[in-house]
Each structure stands twice: as structure tokens, then as C-alpha cells.
């Protein structure tokens, strides 16, 4: 028998062996069908569970925006209630009018914000058609963010607190001295409280608040805490380092605050 015949015979034997093995496997599966079905069901359940978990994770991720929007609206509503309560106290004579001017509030979202310069800015998704006015303060529950400088129909341009041209009237503690809070020009959460008279004592960890002496921001907004570092200036005042509560790296939702008496008070100052 030639080489070609031997190859043909070998191939035939292999085919016969393959068919025999397939028939044997079929018989095993048929006689053990319950066990095979159990294995198959377990495998299907595992795959289904993995797919369900992945789908749930995706749904949860895309639901975060809606949750954040709802949380921002809730924070705005709570802040508005707080401001209304303060205004009622003022009208009832239980609070000093000079320290508690009436403010209107409006929620907004940051659509662009710079971080890398000495004159940082942010752009909001609300404009004058939404009620935004120039010279409005921008805050969050963690402190002051900036000041609105210009308004278009649907957007507002604002200077960030992290801007070398911005200063905020601030107070050391509840009853401490008033000064100016400015960005330190370097760090993401660092600031300096300037012009604090020497007679006012302080300790590391003391809280710094908005003073209420500015037309732009309500009083008693917590801004940050003292780090304990101080610098004597001209032998007359202290400059105190402050660690801000506000993290400027991830701001998205903010509240605009506008002094309803801004124009009237400005007339006296001109």
C-alpha cells in the first residue's frame, strides 16, 4: 500500500474515533441531564449577575448628575429659608439692620473656571434673564467663591476669590477684629486675614467669618480656620494665615446672593 493509501486510512480511523467519542459524550450528557442543567443554570446565573451589576453601576453613574442637581436645589432652598429667617428677625427688631441686610438668592452651576493664574475667573450658567445681577456674591456651604462682574442673557462672568484683585471683609471669630481676607496667591485653600489690630487675641483653629460690613456678602458665613501662623505688619497689625473651608478644585454648584439694598446704600457712599 502506498503512502497515499496509508494517509487515507489514518484519516478514516481518526474520523471513526471522533464519531465514537462524540456519541459517548452525547450518552453521558443524556444520562446526566439534571447535573448538566444545574451546571448550565449556575453559569447562566453568574453571567446574568455580572451583567446586572455592570448595568446597575452604569445606571448609578449617570444618575449622579440628577442627584447632584437635586442636592444643589435643596441646599439653595435651605439657604433661602435661613436668609428669610434672618430677615424676619431683623424686621422684628431682634437683629441689627446694619449687620443683616436683606439678600436674594439664586442657584447656579459653574460651566467654566480657571485655576492657574493670579487673576482666576469663573463663568456661570445663569444670566440677567434668570435674575442675576452684577455685584452679586457667589457662595457655597463651604464659604465664598467669588463676585459677579458682568452678566449676559444666559451667563455671568465672575472673579474668583483666587484672584489677586479680590478681598473680602472678614471677622476673626464671633466677636473678634475685622479685617480683609485675601487669597495667599499660591495654594488652593490658603488665604491671609489682614489688618487685625494687635489687641485682638487669637488661637490656632479659630474660625474666620464674613463680617457683614460688605455689601456683597451676608454676615457669619464660615470661611476657614487660623493655621496659627502670624506676621506682624508695621508694628501695628497682624496678618494671619487661614486654611479655607472651600476647595476650589471641584466647585460645580453655587448660590448667588445679592443685596437688595445695594443700589440705595451705594447712593450714600458716592
* CATH code for the domain in which residue 164 is found: 2.40.10.340
Q: Has residue 137 been placed in a domain?
A: yes
Q: Has residue 16 been placed in a domain?
A: no
**What is the percentage of the chain residues whose pLDDT exceeds 70?**
62
Q: Has residue 194 been placed in a domain?
A: yes
Range of 124's domain?
103-269
At 20, phi and psi to the nearest 5? -65, -40
Q: Has residue 236 been placed in a domain?
A: yes
pLDDT at 49 over 70: no
How high is the pLDDT of residue 270? Answer: 59
pLDDT tens profile 239-265? 999 999 999 988 999 999 999 988 888
Q: Has residue 56 been placed in a domain?
A: no
The number of distinct structural domains making up the chain is: 1
Instruction: Tell me the helix, strand and coil percentages in the chain, rounded to 5.
Output: 35, 35, 30
Q: Which residues of 146-160 are buried (b: 16+ CB within 10 A; e: fewer)?
A: bbbeebeeebbbbbb
Q: Has residue 258 been placed in a domain?
A: yes
**What is the percentage of the chain residues whose pLDDT exceeds 90?**
48
- In the chain, at which residue ranges do the beta strands (DSSP E only) sit? 103-113, 119-124, 137-140, 143-151, 156-163, 168-172, 178-183, 190-197, 207-210, 222-233, 237-244, 253-259
Q: Has residue 176 been placed in a domain?
A: yes
Confidence class of residue 23 from pLDDT cuts 50, 70 and 90? low
pLDDT at 170 over 70: yes
Mean pLDDT, the chain, rounded, equals 78
Q: Has residue 122 been placed in a domain?
A: yes
Amino acid at each position: 500500500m502506498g503512502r497515499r493509501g496509508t494517509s487515507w486510512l489514518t484519516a478514516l480511523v481518526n474520523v471513526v474515533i471522533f464519531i465514537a467519542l462524540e456519541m459517548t459524550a452525547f450518552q453521558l450528557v443524556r444520562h446526566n441531564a439534571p447535573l448538566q442543567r444545574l451546571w448550565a443554570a449556575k453559569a447562566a446565573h453568574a453571567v446574568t449577575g455580572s451583567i446586572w451589576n455592570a448595568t446597575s453601576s452604569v445606571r448609578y453613574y449617570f444618575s449622579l448628575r440628577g442627584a447632584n442637581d437635586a442636592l444643589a436645589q435643596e441646599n439653595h432652598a435651605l439657604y433661602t429659608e435661613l436668609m428669610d429667617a434672618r430677615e424676619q428677625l431683623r424686621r422684628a427688631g431682634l437683629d441689627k439692620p446694619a449687620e443683616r441686610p436683606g439678600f436674594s438668592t439664586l442657584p447656579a452651576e459653574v460651566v467654566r473656571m480657571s485655576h492657574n493664574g493670579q487673576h482666576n475667573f469663573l463663568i456661570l450658567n445663569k444670566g440677567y434673564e434668570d435674575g442675576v445681577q452684577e455685584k452679586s456674591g457667589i457662595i457655597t456651604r463651604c464659604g465664598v467663591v467669588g463676585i459677579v462682574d458682568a452678566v449676559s442673557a444666559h451667563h455671568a462672568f465672575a472673579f474668583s476669590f483666587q484672584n489677586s484683585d479680590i478681598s473680602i471683609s472678614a471677622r476673626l471669630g464671633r466677636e473678634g477684629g475685622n479685617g480683609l481676607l485675601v487669597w495667599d496667591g499660591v495654594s488652593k485653600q490658603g488665604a491671609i486675614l489682614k489688618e487685625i489690630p494687635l489687641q485682638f487675641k487669637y488661637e490656632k483653629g479659630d474660625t474666620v467669618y464674613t463680617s457683614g460690613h460688605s455689601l456683597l456678602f451676608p454676615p457669619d458665613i464660615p470661611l476657614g480656620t487660623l493655621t496659627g501662623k502670624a506676621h506682624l505688619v508695621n508694628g501695628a497689625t497682624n496678618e494671619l494665615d487661614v486654611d479655607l473651608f472651600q476647595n476650589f478644585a471641584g466647585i460645580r454648584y453655587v448660590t448667588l446672593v445679592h443685596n437688595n439694598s445695594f443700589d440705595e446704600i451705594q447712593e450714600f457712599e458716592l
